[in-house]
Amino acid sequence: MQRLNLHTLSIALAFSCCRTVAAHQAAGDIELLKKMSLEDILNVEVVSKKTESQYSAAGIVSIVTRDDIERYGANTLADVLNRVTSVYMLSTYIWSNSTAAVRGDALTHVNNHTLVLVNGRPFRDSAYGGLNETMFRDFPIHHIEQIEVVRGSGSVLYGSNAFTGVINIVTKKKQDNRLTVRGRYGSYNTGQAETEFGWNNGDAAISGAVRYRASDGWTASAVDETRQNVNFRNDDGDVSASIWGGWKEFDFNLYIVNSQKQHWGAVPIGFGQQVENNRLFFDAGYNHQINDFWRSKWNLTLNKFSQNYNLPVSGVPYMTDLWENNLLLEQSHFLSFFDDKLNLLFGGLVEWQQGQVTQVSQPNTLAPYEQLKSSIYANVGYALLDNLKLNLGGQWHRFDHLKAAPSGVAESDSAIDGLVGRAGLVYEMTANWGAKLLFAQAYRAPSAGELGANSAVVLGNRSVEPEKVETADAQVFYHDADYQVSLTAFESRVTNLIVRSPIPNTVPTRLLYVNGGSATFEGLELETEAKLLPGLSWKGSYTFQTNRDENQRNNKTLLPNHMAKLGLSYEFSPSLQIGAFDTYFSAAKTAPNALLVNPPAGGYHNVSVNANYKLNNWLGVAKNKHMTFTLYLDNLLDENFYYPEFNRKNINTIPAAPGRMLFGEIALEF
């Protein structure tokens, strides 16, 4: 494996060397969270772009708190998300921990039906439209305040890719002055160092985390598309930093990462090659309270991305380089009238995107592109009664292609525009019981690759139109200080799917992007959380989903029909806490014509155990500066499990993860 980018490493070391004056212990806020009721902490920002109760919000939302992350442990954000209701984390042959499939929706190896946000701002790429592995695998999870996962459509407020799910990563913001240093080591010679820091001086504040990780990786053994036995190590490493800062009405978010990972390749053939990702996300915001009922917010968001990998297949060199720059300007206005009974939100945005993909055998695999995307949106929430809330919203969007299509690509100069809307009723029947009835539309704009690719295998099409979905949700819920439970029924109808169709009389066969096919998703979700006894809590969910194609054939996406997730946590003493989590998925399906060359993607239990022990009293360290030892055991049952190969569908499965793993960590607070 090559060395990580020296420039990025120097940035990480600079942050790691910074010193803050410790005023309060980092664990103090965690202790406060443990004493709060469930009703106190279940607030979300993602549904309406403002803070509101999970129960009154016009969306189906799951929340992961930082206390949950502390209780149950994790190595990556992917580990955390895999425990969320209706989320199925999986890898593909080219990207690992790259896909968060919500409610069974995973149609390609690009995670373009799930939109990731950082503090409400879109983390999005334009060339392929869903390369999220640098978030799911590399984000410093100890900088997370909470995670909000919307199950269902969110395009009215967030635009393209908010199709069947939205994941909002809310980072820690204004904190007491603190510095925490963590060191972790475990299976496969995996080492990790992480520094978290916070500084607060009234009007100005900053918080962040810097992480360095390297691993020899586990050995992936499988049979490839040529029926050849292959094995290679999934070694990986990254340097990443997440930082939030604020001064008066201004704030910013920064996420930067350089990561390298061994992967199978552009196709599942051969013995693996290395892929390198460089990602920069930066958002600057200005939030101004104009008067008592009007608040305005402006944001400028930059997403920069580069990637390179290579893999020779049948003599064709796939040495590939990708770069892109995406700049978004957005304004939002929030108005509140009649003692907060009427809430209006309206805004608009414009986004300029540019990029290119080159291969050594084809310099303009994706010729330099420029495109402009814009939209305007509005949403109104009105309390028809004291306990009955109506929500209505809509968005108009337009995509302009500013450069001519590459040679050989089907041409279309016309811009694409469209409308999506949403409507919902939230009825809180009593102080504890309530119900939601929601309907929302969403879209997924074609990526630059789908519009302009010109490789030896795939050809873009400028006439491709956005994918569309309509989702209906019905939910009933109960909550009090110690218990919450909800039951949700959903149905999503996806149309205008963008697929690859063989081009007649081409040798070897080339594929053209076209609109074709549809899918329907239906299911039930049960979600529970409880504080059972002093020190004992649980969190769990069950999901049943089924999906079918336009010909009413079941299991279009091959993903498991059943998911059951349950976590139990107990505090034996103020110094010792143990949590265990079981994530169960039923067997995934196999594509009809796939080669049955690898073990099936059978059902499995992924059981993890996490123990936190504070060493203060034992070592005689000051009680307000914790020293914590953490032991994290992943895949306790030592199961071997496989993911369906759902993209090319030429082989049945790919290796998913190694067996049992053990990690130990020391965290020191200063």
For the chain (length 670 residues), average pLDDT per consecutive 10? 40 37 38 53 87 94 96 96 97 89 94 97 94 95 96 96 96 90 97 96 94 95 93 93 97 97 85 90 97 96 92 62 96 95 97 91 84 96 96 96 71 82 97 97 95 87 94 97 96 96 87 94 97 93 97 94 98 94 96 94 96 82 78 96 92 93 95
3-state secondary structure 324-336: EEEEEEEEEEEEE
Per the structure block, which two tokens stand in for 134? 């640098």
Closest to 370 measured CA to CA, from 386, 359, 354: 354
Asked whether 327 and 319 are in contact (CB, 8 A), the reply is no
Asked whether 20 and 304 are in contact (CB, 8 A), the reply is no
Q: Containing H/E element for 13? A: helix 6-16
Predicted confidence at residue 7, as pLDDT, reads 40
- Number of residues in the chain: 670
Quote the pTM value: 0.93
Hey, how many other C-beta atoms are within 10 angstroms of the C-beta on 344? 16
| Bridge partners (DSSP) listed for residue 186 | 190, 663
Query: Residue 602: what residue type?
Result: G
Q: How far apart are the first and last CA of the chain?
A: 34
CA-based R_g, the chain, Å:
24
Predicted confidence at residue 23, as pLDDT, reads 33
Phi first, then psi: give them for residue 15, nearest 5 degrees: -65, -40
Closest to 300 measured CA to CA, from 254, 344, 243: 254
Closest to 169 measured CA to CA, from 64, 56, 68, 15: 64
Reduce the DSSP state of residue 71 to 3 states and report it: helix
Predicted confidence at residue 362, as pLDDT, reads 75
Per the structure block, which two tokens stand in for 150? 């919307």
Classify each residue of 636-659 as buried b or exposed e, where b means 16 or more C-beta atoms within 10 Å of its C-beta.
beebebbbbbbbeebbbbbbbbbe
- What gap in Å lies between CA 218 and CA 235, rounded to an integer? 7
Predicted confidence at residue 317, as pLDDT, reads 56
Hey, how many other C-beta atoms are within 10 angstroms of the C-beta on 331? 14
- Dump the DSSP string for 358-369: EETTEEEEEEEE
Per the structure block, which two tokens stand in for 242? 């997440």
**Residue found by looking up tokens 């402009």 in the block:** 372
Strand pairing report for 114-118 and 165-171? parallel
Classify each residue of 355-370 as buried b or exposed e, where b means 16 or more C-beta atoms within 10 Å of its C-beta.
bbbbbeebebbbbebe
Residue 313 falls in which region: left (phi positive, over 0), alpha (psi -120 to 50) or beta: beta
Closest to 231 measured CA to CA, from 255, 264, 196: 264
List, in order, residues 6 or more apart from 2 with CB less than 8 Å away. 260, 274, 276
